[in-house]
Amino acid sequence: MKEESSCVIKFENVTKYYTLYHNFVGIKNFLFNLPSVIKNLKRQKFCALKNVSFEIYRKQTVGIIGKNGAGKSTILGLIAKVLKPSLGKVYVEGKVVGLLELEAGFHPDLTGYENIILNGILLGLTKSEILSKIDEIIEFSGLDGFIFQPLRTYSSGMLARLGFSVSVHIPADILLIDEVLAVGDLDFQKKCYKKIEEIKNKDKTIIFVSHDMDAITKICDRVILVKEGEIIKDGNPYEVVEYYTETS
Ligand SMILES: Nc1ncnc2c1ncn2[C@@H]1O[C@H](COP(=O)(O)OP(=O)(O)OP(=O)(O)O)[C@@H](O)[C@H]1O
Ligand SMILES: [Mg+2]
C-alpha cells in the first residue's frame, strides 16, 4: 500500500436510475388515458448503476472499462457531481476537473479563445488566472490558426484538443478523462499521454475511461470493469483487461 493511501473518492452502495420517457403511445392514447399515461411515464426507470461501492485513493490512476452503456460515464458524472445518486452516497475530496462530453461547457457561437476563458471561469478560476495560462493552453491545443474562429466551425477532433488542453491546465486534485482522446489524431494523442504521465507524477488522481485497452494498460495502475451497471472486476490492469477481452 502506498503511503499516500488516503481515500479521495468513495461510492457507498450507489444506485443510479434514469427516467425513460419512451412510453408515449400516440396522441389519442395520451388524450383519452391521460392519468394512466402519466403514471406509466413515471414508472419507466432505467437502472444504470446497481448498488456500486468502491474507493479510489490519492495519486491512483484508475481506468474504467466496459461495453457501451455499461455505466462508465455515469460513474464519472457522479464523481463530477453533474449527476446525483438515486440511492447511496458519493464522497469526493478535492477539486475535480474533467471533460465529460465534448460539447458540454462549450458555447458554439463563441470563439475558441472565448471558450477557454468561459471554461476557466466555470471551473473556478478568476479571469486573470485563466488569462495567465491561456498561451500555454493554446500552444498545447495546437489550434493557434483557429483560436479566433467560432467553435461551431471546429471538427470534433479540434473540440477534443481544446477541451483536453483546458482541463489539463486547470489546477485540480482529480482529473476525469472520458474517451476524449479517441477523436484526436495520433500526434495529439501522443502529446496527451505524455501530459497524463506528467500529471500522474504530480500529486493527482486520474480517472480514465477508454475503449483503448493499450492506453488503459499503459496509463493506469488499477482498472475497474463495469458490466450492466455493476463492477465485476477491480484490480491489476493487465488481469482486468485480459478478462474483459476474453469474455466479451
Ligand atoms: N440521461 C439519460 N437518460 C436515460 N438513460 C441514460 C441517460 N444517460 C445514460 N443512460 C443510460 O444509462 C446506461 C449507462 O450509460 P453510460 O453513459 O454511463 O454508459 P457508458 O458506459 O459511458 O457507455 P459508452 O461506452 O457508450 O460511453 C446506458 O444504458 C444509457 O442508455
Ligand atoms: Mg460513456
- Could you report the per-residue pLDDT of 3-48, keeping only the tens digit for each? 457 999 999 999 999 987 655 566 666 676 777 766 666 667 899 9
Q: How far apart are CA 220 and CA 63, in angstroms?
A: 6
As given in the structure block, the three cell numbers for residue 169 are: 491546465
Closest listed ligand to the CA of 21: 1
pLDDT value for 104? 64
pLDDT value for 128? 95
Write the CB contacts of 127 (distance below 8 Å, at least 6 apart in sequence): 117, 120, 121
- Give the pLDDT confidence of 56-75 residue by residue, as tens digits: 999 999 999 999 999 999 99
Question: What is the overall mean pLDDT for the chain?
Answer: 89
The CB of 48 under 6 Å from ligand 1? The reply is: yes
CA of 228 to the centre of ligand 1 (A): 10
DSSP string for residues in 74-139: HHHHHHTTSS--SEEEEEE-S-EEEE-SSSTT--TTSBHHHHHHHHHHHTT--HHHHHHHHHHHHH
Residue nearest to atom 5 of ligand 1 (CA): 18
pLDDT value for 99? 72
CATH superfamily of 57-247: P-loop containing nucleotide triphosphate hydrolases (3.40.50.300)
The CB of 69 under 6 Å from ligand 1? The reply is: yes
| Residues, beta carbon < 5 Å, ion ligand 2 | 73
- Indicate if the alpha-carbon torsion angle 214, 4, 226, 73 is positive or negative: negative
pLDDT value for 63? 98
Residue nearest to atom 31 of ligand 1 (CA): 69
pLDDT value for 3? 45
- Mind spelling out the 3-state secondary structure of 214-227? HHHHHHCCEEEEEE
Q: What are the residue ranges spanned by the domains of the chain?
A: 57-247
- Give the pLDDT confidence of 110-138 residue by residue, as tens digits: 999 999 999 999 888 999 999 999 999 99
Q: How confident is the model at residue 2 (pLDDT cuts 50, 70, 90)?
A: very low
pTM over 0.85, yes/no: yes
As given in the structure block, the three cell numbers for residue 182 are: 479517441
pLDDT higher than 90, residue 232:
yes
Which ligand 1 atom is the nearest neighbour of the CA of 70?
Answer: 21
Q: How far apart are CA 166 and CA 182, in angstroms?
A: 17
Write the CB contacts of 93 (distance below 8 Å, at least 6 apart in sequence): 6, 7, 8, 9, 173
The CB of 66 under 6 Å from ligand 1? The reply is: yes
pLDDT value for 28? 67
pLDDT higher than 70, residue 211:
yes
pLDDT value for 1? 40
User: Please, which residues bridge with residue 98 across strands?
Assistant: 176
Is 184:36 a contact under the CB 8 Å cutoff?
Answer: no
